Structure 1
Amino acid sequence: MYLLILGIALMVLKYLEIGFVAGLSWLWVLSPFALAVVWWAWADATGYTKRKEMEKMDQKKQERIDKQRAALGIRTKRR
């Protein structure tokens, strides 16, 4: 996501010819988009995104369980 924001910012600065970006080649300005594609391909190929999604779901599930136990007056497990 950060690479996309950087790419959009650089593209706008290049188009409006603002600052040092005006003198850069379009290749350098558009390179964050290529890096974002590489990052997404790597993250999907290695299972990184799925693993992070599962960790978030497990954390939310544990928070719901702890909240329900606290409402019932049951002690929660300490980790």
Structure 2
Amino acid sequence: MAFVILGLIFIVLKLLSIGPVASWSWWWVLLPLALAFIWWEIIDPMFGISKKRAMGDMADRQQARRQKYRESLGLGGGERRKK
């Protein structure tokens, strides 16, 4: 997401001819957007970074839901004892 924001800032600065970005080539201005594309289309699916984060979040929500149901049934708030 940072690459996209940086790319958009560079585009605005280039179009308004502000600062040193005005003298840069369009290739340098659009480079952050290309890096964002590479990240989302190649690196993230290859290593499953977003999928692992989403699965962890889902497991946390599931654990909180189970804890809430146990408390509402009066089974105590503690974890289950292992024998």
Corresponding position of 2:64: 63
Counterpart CA distance in 1 for 2:21 and 2:73 is 60
Written as runs of structure 1 = structure 2, the 5 A alignment for 1:1-79 is: 1-40=1-40, 41-73=42-74, 74-77=76-79
Could you tell me whether the CA contact under 8 Å between 1:7 and 1:29 is conserved in 2?
A: yes
Gaps of 5+ in 1: none
CA RMSD of aligned residues (A): 1.8
**What is the CA-CA distance between 1:51 and the residue it aligns to?**
1.3
Could you tell me whether the CA contact under 8 Å between 1:69 and 1:76 is conserved in 2?
A: no
CA deviation vs aligned residue, 1:22-42 (integer Å, no higher than 9, x gap):
121111110001111121111
TM (norm. structure 1) is: 0.82
Paired AA for residue 44 in structure 2: A
Identical aligned residues as a percent: 44
**What is the CA-CA distance between 1:69 and the residue it aligns to?**
2.8
TM (norm. structure 2) is: 0.79
Counterpart CA distance in 2 for 1:36 and 1:47 is 16
Paired AA for residue 5 in structure 1: I
**What is the CA-CA distance between 1:65 and the residue it aligns to?**
1.8
**What is the CA-CA distance between 1:76 and the residue it aligns to?**
2.8
Paired AA for residue 57 in structure 1: M
Gaps of 5+ in 2: none
